[in-house]
């Protein structure tokens, strides 16, 4: 065996020469500006434009706010409730959004269950509904006594609509069966059958008005 056949001793890491990148080309400001401009165009212009166009093509009604029209006149949105009064109309849930169903001030009441003000309001609401619908307080569905988290919910439960059928039918000179049929026609169910069914109050009242009675 000669000296040339012996393995060379390994050098410690500290003895290895440091790589010299001083001569490597460095990106200048112009490269960074071009990169930023590219992503600004892609994420700030191209992506919103493509998603907006796709949304409008695939879901035209939803993309424009789910607007409800009475002929050529926009009367509301299927997503936002409206206040109704009078025996001829179904009444929606209480609303704590501004003066009622105000989309600019969407909010709940923020009152805890233990708050006396909430208890007093619910009790007064229950007495008013019982008198209006001529039913005992125990028959009032809870959704007619409580506001939604946004204060904009356009739906009542099927039970909440059912307790109002007799009053609306009597005021409009219709049979209970006719009004119940309209309630069924405007009862919406969740996607793929998931979620609780709800009756869209605005659409139901518009359908009643279209009967001309």
Structure tokens at 184: 């069924």
Is pLDDT at 16 greater than 70 in this prediction?
no
Quick check: is 55 in a domain?
no
State the total domains in the chain: 1
Tell me the pLDDT of the chain averaged across its residues.
Answer: 84
> Which long-range CB contacts under 8 A does 145-148 form with residues at least 24 apart?
145/94, 146/93, 146/94, 146/122, 147/93, 147/94, 147/95, 147/96, 147/108, 147/109, 148/93, 148/95, 148/108
Query: Structural domain of residue 143, as residue ranges?
Result: 87-210
Quick check: is 184 in a domain?
yes
Quick check: is 161 in a domain?
yes
Quick check: is 66 in a domain?
no
| Whole-number percent of the chain with pLDDT over 70 | 86
158: which residues sit within 8 A by CB, 6+ positions away?
183, 187, 197, 198, 199
- Residue-wise pLDDT for 97-130, tens only, equals 877 787 777 777 777 888 888 889 889 999 999 9
Quick check: is 7 in a domain?
no
Instruction: Tell me the average pLDDT across 188-201.
Output: 83
Quick check: is 185 in a domain?
yes
Distance CA 182, CA 171 (A): 15
Whole-number Cα distances in Å, 103 to 64, 108, 188, 201: 16, 12, 22, 17
Quick check: is 75 in a domain?
no
Q: Which residue has the higher pLDDT, 194 or 186?
A: 186
| Whole-number percent of the chain with pLDDT over 90 | 36
| pLDDT, position 143 | 92
Is pLDDT at 22 greater than 70 in this prediction?
no
Distance CA 35, CA 47 (A): 16
Is pLDDT at 135 greater than 70 in this prediction?
yes
| pLDDT, position 58 | 81
Is pLDDT at 213 greater than 60 in this prediction?
yes
- Residue-wise pLDDT for 146-190, tens only, equals 888 888 889 999 999 999 999 999 999 999 999 999 999 999 887
Quick check: is 41 in a domain?
no
Angle at which helix 165-172 crosses helix 176-185, to 10 degrees, equals: 120
Structure tokens at 70: 């009475």
Distance CA 143, CA 160 (A): 7
Is pLDDT at 25 greater than 70 in this prediction?
no
């Amino acid at each position: 065996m000669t000296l040339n056949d012996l393995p060379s001793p390994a050098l410690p890491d500290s003895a290895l020469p440091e790589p010299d990148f001083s001569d490597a080309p460095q990106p200048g400001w112009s490269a960074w500006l071009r990169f930023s401009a590219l992503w600004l165009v892609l994420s700030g212009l191209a992506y919103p434009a493509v998603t907006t166009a796709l949304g409008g093509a695939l879901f035209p009604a939803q993309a424009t706010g789910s607007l409800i029209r009475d002929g050529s006149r926009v009367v509301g949105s299927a997503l936002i409730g409206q206040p109704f009064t009078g025996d001829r109309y179904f009444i929606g849930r209480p609303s704590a959004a501004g003066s009622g169903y105000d989309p600019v001030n969407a909010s709940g009441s923020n009152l805890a269950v233990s708050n006396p003000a909430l208890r007093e309001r619910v009790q007064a609401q229950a007495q008013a509904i019982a008198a209006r619908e001529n039913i005992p307080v125990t028959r009032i569905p809870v959704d007619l006594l409580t506001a939604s988290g946004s204060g904009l919910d356009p739906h009542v439960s099927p039970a909440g609509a059912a307790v109002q059928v007799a009053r609306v039918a009597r005021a409009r000179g219709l049979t209970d069966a006719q009004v119940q049929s309209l309630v069924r026609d405007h009862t919406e169910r969740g996607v793929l059958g998931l979620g609780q069914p709800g009756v869209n109050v605005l659409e139901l009242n518009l359908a009643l008005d279209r009967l001309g009675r």
